[in-house]
Each structure stands twice: as C-alpha cells, then as structure tokens.
Amino acid sequence: MLTASMRLNDGCEYRERLGPDADGLTVLDYLSQRYGHSSVAEWTERIASGRVLVDSLPVNSECVLHKGLELVWHRPPWIEPEAPATFIVLYEDEDLLAVAKPAGLPTLPGANFLQSTLLYLVRAYAPDAAPLHRLGRWTSGLVLFARNHHSRLELMKQWSANKVGKRYRALASGLPDRDEMTIATRIGPVPHALLGSIHAAAPEGKPSLSRVTVLERRTDSFLCDVHIATGRPHQIRIHLAAAGHPLKGDPLYGTGGLPATDTRALPGDPGYHLHSAELSFLHPGTGRDLVIECEPPLLLRHSNDTADVQK
C-alpha cells in the first residue's frame, strides 16, 4: 500500500492555443467570459501579478488577443479538499497496472483536485501509467492503466467494441421481486439547477445496458452484482434508480433514474455504495484471457464471504 501526505499542492500551469473565439477580445474579457468560475476582479489580480502570459510574455488586462496565440495561466499552490492518499496494486507487468482506488479519492484532476488524485499517486509509482477509464470519486475499486502506447491502443479497441467485461458490486434500496434484472433505460443529458445539465434517464439518450444479479436481500436493501455492457456516465446509479431501486444512500438519483428535485445534490456527493469488482479482457501483450478482481469493502461483501473471512 502506498501513502502520501497531501495538503498544499505545487500549483499548476493551464496552457491553451487560442481559437477564433478569442479574436479581438482583451485578455481580461476572454478569461472572465470563458472561465466564469472566477470573477473579473480575480482575473484582474492574476493578470496584474504576472501569472498570465501570452506567447511566453506577461501582459496587461487590455492586451488584445488573436487566434493562434498561446495563453498560459500559472495557478499558485492551493489547499485541496480532503481525500484518501492510498491505493493498492492488484496486478502489474510491463504492459498493465491495475490498482484498487478507495472511495473518496478522485481518479483524475478536476473540481479543485490536482495532486489528491489517483492519477497523481499512481504516476509517482509508475510514471508511464495512463488510465484507461475512470471511476466516480465515491466509487471504490479497480482502475486499469496501460504502460505503453501499444497496450493503450489495443485495450481502447476492446473497450470501444464492448469486449471488456465489467462487473460492479452495489447496495441498492428496496427488495426486488426477482433475482435477475436487465435494464436498458437510455441515458442522456437532462436539466440540472446547478450544473445546467446532468446525465440521467432520458428517452432520447444513448442506448445503455446493465444486467443485475441479486446476491443477498437485507432488511430494506439488497446486495447485487451489475455487469455493464455499455459505460455511460453514472450508468449503474441511473439504471438501478430507473428500475425502482436507487443505490442505498444515493443523494442524487431517485426512483425513475432522474435527479432528485428537492435537493441540491451533485454527482460527486457521497452516500452511495458502489464498487468496481472485476475487469476481464484479452491481455494486449499475450492475447490471453485475463481476469482481475478487487475485493469489495465489508459493507458490500456477501454474508457468506464475510463469514469465511472471520473463520
């Protein structure tokens, strides 16, 4: 197990080649319009402090931009939100690296996370590792990385052709009336008060398919394995909710597979219980079948499995 103490990060550099939408705009107008997460006053201060460069030179707020120029913003170090700083290596060879991500750790940078991410931690261990997929922040379990261009290319081909087997373990609410469910609710963008839009059950959305196997019924919930043939955003959360069984504790998706209307929940909010338990595919180097498993947390283990562990 690898650990790291993560508080104040090292800052980062945002770099972009300007497109036609920048033509004729001042630096201040462009940044404040394109990146509305910060106010005009905040961008003014950043420009005045020399942290915004155009073609490698500091500029003032009134500098006029044109297509093709390179714009760079040096963001100073900041304290990232609290997150776990561990992962466990499940499988490793010269082509692949498979790790177990804990719930609460983002897979990739975003939303004020930079170094408190699985990618940053894994790159410190294996600088050549490139992620082949991502898990939601509060989804735990198996994440697969390629370690060279050939492996990445071959595995992405399998992913695109739906030839990678994906099994998840979930705790869903309610008590189902059958042991097997096939859910094919389409998934697409729907309106969201805070984000503008969010993926949810949508009649005009993309085809999606999940196969659910009930493993254990509990008092007001059930443990299940979910095999997904497609990989739409939040697919398992949406599909189980659409089937009338939202994930236990999910703050966002309610019955019907739509965002709850009486809350201001976001996709990254905690509460639900979901784990990436298994990936199966052809090894990109040997061509042989490879199955990698990741043991779920205690709450998501079948009672028989838990009993075996305690013996």
Q: Which amino acid is at 38?
A: S
The CATH number that domain 163-272 falls under is 3.30.2350.10
Q: What is the predicted pLDDT for the residue at 306? A: 57
Q: With 0-12 CB in 10 A as exposed, 13-18 as middle and 19+ as buried, what is 79?
A: exposed
Q: What is the predicted pLDDT for the residue at 255? A: 85
pTM: 0.84
* pLDDT profile of the chain (311 residues), mean per 10: 59 91 95 87 93 94 95 89 93 98 94 89 96 96 98 96 96 96 96 87 96 97 96 96 96 91 81 97 97 97 65 43
Q: Please give the CATH superfamily to which domain 12-75 belongs.
A: RNA-binding S4 domain (3.10.290.10)
CA distance 227 to 200: 19
- What residues does CATH 3.30.2350.10 cover in the chain? 163-272
Q: What is the predicted pLDDT for the residue at 75? A: 87
CA distance 50 to 281: 49
Token pair 């509460």 is found at: 271
- What residues does CATH 3.10.290.10 cover in the chain? 12-75
CA distance 175 to 50: 60
Q: What is the predicted pLDDT for the residue at 2? A: 43
Structure tokens belonging to residue 42: 């905040």
CA distance 307 to 311: 6
